[in-house]
């Protein structure tokens, strides 16, 4: 990302009359969405600090505190698996085991083809339809291993969900 693009995003956010303290988080979301690998490169984090006139440590504090941000490249599809108790008890454990085996990765890793990143998350707020996963911005509930298999195969085939 070049500095002009970053400035355009900042100007756009400022025109939305966001609170000054909210601009950093909204900016990080937009910058991360700019990259196909869903992450914020270190040099862009430095540019963000300069453009917002904040210390780089402030930018990295936010980047590393919130699990939705990443400083390393991730897959096209980010699979967030809820491992809280309401999801884990009714079949969530089997779904975690299945995903790890099917994708050949552990939590925090990306498949060799760059298609999937598997992440562990706390409650997604959908306990009534547990177990639940979130893939990018889409939620999937009432899951079984078979349903997860269908979802993964659909995404591998290029179907955007």
Binding residues for [2Fe-2S] cluster: 82, 87, 123, 127
Helix (H) or strand (E) segment spanning residue 133: strand 133-135
For residues 70 and 109, the answer to whether their CB atoms sit within 8 Å is: no
Q: Which residues are annotated as a binding site?
A: 82, 87, 123, 127
Cis peptide before 94 (omega within 30 of 0): no
- Report whether 69 contacts 28 (CB < 8 A): yes
Collapsing DSSP to helix, strand or coil, 145 comes out as helix
Q: How far is CA 76 from CA 41, 73, 90, in A?
A: 16, 10, 28
First to last CA, the chain: 27
């Amino acid at each position: 990302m070049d500095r002009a693009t970053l400035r355009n995003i900042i100007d756009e956010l400022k025109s939305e009359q966001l609170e000054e303290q909210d601009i950093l988080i909204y900016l990080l979301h937009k910058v991360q969405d700019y990259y196909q690998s869903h992450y914020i490169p270190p040099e862009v984090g430095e540019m963000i600090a300069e453009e917002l006139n904040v210390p780089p440590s402030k930018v990295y504090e936010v980047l590393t505190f919130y699990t939705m941000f990443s400083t390393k490249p991730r897959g096209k599809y980010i699979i967030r698996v809820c491992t809280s108790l309401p999801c884990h008890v009714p079949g969530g454990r089997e779904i975690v085991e299945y995903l790890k085996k099917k994708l050949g990765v552990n939590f925090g890793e990306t498949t060799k083809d760059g298609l999937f990143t598997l992440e562990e998350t706390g409650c997604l707020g959908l306990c009534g339809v547990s177990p639940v996963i979130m893939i990018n911005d889409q939620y999937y509930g009432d899951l079984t291993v078979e349903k997860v298999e269908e979802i993964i195969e659909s995404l591998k085939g290029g179907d955007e969900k």
